[in-house]
Amino acid sequence: MASLSSTVMAQPQGPYPPQITRRADIEAPTSIVLDTVPLTSFTRPAPSPLPQELRRRQNRDNDDDEDRTSSEDEDARRTTSGATSESRTRSEDDEPTSTGSAATLTISIPPTATSLPRPFDDAPFAEFRLDGDDDSCPIFIADLLSNPNFLACYPASMMLMSSASFFRAQSNLLDMVRVLDATCEPDVVMCTEYLNSAAQNLTASENCGNEFNANHRRTMYAYNALRSYEMLYAATCLQDSTDDEDLYCYAKAVTNTSAPSDSYIYLLPYGLQMPGASRVTCSQCTQDTMAIFHSASADRSQPIAESYEPAALQVNTICGPNFVNATMPSPDSAGVRQSLPLQLAITLGICVYFTVNMLF
């Protein structure tokens, strides 16, 4: 599949970031019980270990800057500063604790300036645990969300369906633009590699392997959100080429109450279908966003491969037969590798079917 990163013209810099294993110690921690951690907001660290050389939104005038400063001040006053880093408490051999009691996380709040939405602030980390299982998966997720590289990447894909504070930001255009400025700032190429590695680590048996194999809803969302980072980065950072202000297409879609269906297409990467009564705006933003998803659907292992074609046909019903490409692209090598077990199962099923019919 052609790289989506060409859409945003980011260039890789620096060494590949380390995989997620365990995080460094934090000074002066405060112990908090895992089941009682309701995350509400977080603050990004000022210096980041990853390059920050992607272009930010252009053509902002002075009035916009003043309005955004006012909005940030108001947001900072009404937002409670939440936990920004969590570290796991492990046994001496660093194996996950598998007891009936709740695991304990240590939390400290580093100094920083601006409060932003964070992933999974709608429920405690214990929601990542299977009934009767240990806390390996909740601890892995806590470590992931507090990892400096993850914080530097600040992926929108991890917040679209899991962040109450991100949802609240959608009620105000300037707030949403401020959040997207932050999510679109990091190096997309390096972050794509890092988050794909995190998704692979999530499936390990010592992390969230049990939850992943059990198709645990919240765990699968985290996995798919990590893997769809590059696609949703391109889609949410896309700017309206027909707008003199170069506003983000996503910001316009989620704040436009007169056309709520426009926001539905951004849920396609999670495998969700558009509601049957949806009537999207036949705009350049819709066309360009669907083009990003069409390209991404070449990876048949991505949920978008299941949701794109029905959505494209639905959009063309409203906007015209050729408004978006409703023909699936040829599968790329990654998609072929992921699809081989399914293809083999289908082939075996056909052979069994004909064998049974020949016998009887």
What percent of the chain has pLDDT above 90? 54
Confidence of residue 178 (pLDDT cuts 50, 70, 90): very high
Average pLDDT along the chain = 73
C-beta atoms surrounding 182 within 10 Å: 15
Is the per-residue pLDDT at 258 higher than 60?
yes
pLDDT for res 82: 39
How large is the average pLDDT for residues 86-105?
A: 38
What are the start-end ranges of the H helices in the chain? 62-78, 136-146, 148-153, 164-169, 173-183, 188-202, 209-213, 217-227, 229-236, 249-255, 284-296, 304-319, 333-359
pTM: 0.65
Q: What is the DSSP letter of 99?
A: S
- pLDDT tens-digit map of 303-314: 999 999 999 999
Most confident of 58-62, 68-72, 183-187: 183-187
How large is the average pLDDT for residues 233-253?
A: 92
pLDDT for res 114: 54
Please, which residues have CB within 8 angstroms of residue 357's CB and are 6 or more apart in sequence?
none
Is the per-residue pLDDT at 50 higher than 90?
no
